[in-house]
Amino acid sequence: MRLILLGPPGAGKGTQADKIAKEYNIPHISTGDIFRANIKNETELGIKAKQYIDNGELVPDSVVVAIVEDRIKQEDTKNGFLLDGFPRTENQALALDAVLKEIGIDLDAVININVDSKILVSRITGRRICKNCGATFHVEFNPPAEEGLCDLCGGELYQRSDDNEKTVQNRIEIYNKQTAPLIEYYSKQDLIKTIDGEQAIDKVFTHIIEKLG
């Protein structure tokens, strides 16, 4: 199963991505994760990306696409993959199409998790993350058993500095401007599977699996 996951910040993509990856035994390929891995391992692409990041610049599409291409050619993707955080723009989608055509594979579906912007703001500003293991909780929807402490490892929970209303609104606007047009792009290829992301986590997952058939 070769999939792309779309959805605005706070739509629950990370949670659903982990579940989907386990269900289909495919790697969850997060662009953030592969960037960090390439930079940490000082690969040629990682060094290039770090130069832009250190200068406070956006990593150009050519480098991003090359890093993703390298990742989806690795051995563990033989059953497929789930791309999360890429493509972000139509230009990146066009570049990905070219890469997949060169490799000789096709996408099976593009999952679009849809959530109202007011709910997104509430979700993100209430999010708390474990400093130790990275587990995610929410003060309202998924509170820890003991306030301020992770259920899994007992680590301290914190709120990300960018999880405030002003920054969240800005992130949503950027998503709507840059990434939301991909819904139409992939609709023309008959790949879009739109999911109501305002349901409970398990219901969202069940809906995804049903849509994927």
User: Which residues have a catalytic role annotated?
Assistant: 13, 88, 127, 160, 171
Cis, bond preceding 87 (omega within 30 deg of 0): yes
- Angle ∠(120,115,204) on CA atoms, nearest 5: 115
Question: DSSP secondary structure string, 164-186?
Answer: SHHHHHHHHHHHHHHTTHHHHHH
User: What is the separation of C-alpha 189 from the centre of its chain, rounded to a whole number of angstroms?
Assistant: 21
Q: Which helix (H) or strand (E) holds 84?
A: strand 81-84
User: What is the separation of C-alpha 54 from the centre of its chain, rounded to a whole number of angstroms?
Assistant: 23
C-alpha–C-alpha distance, residues 16 and 38, integer Å: 24
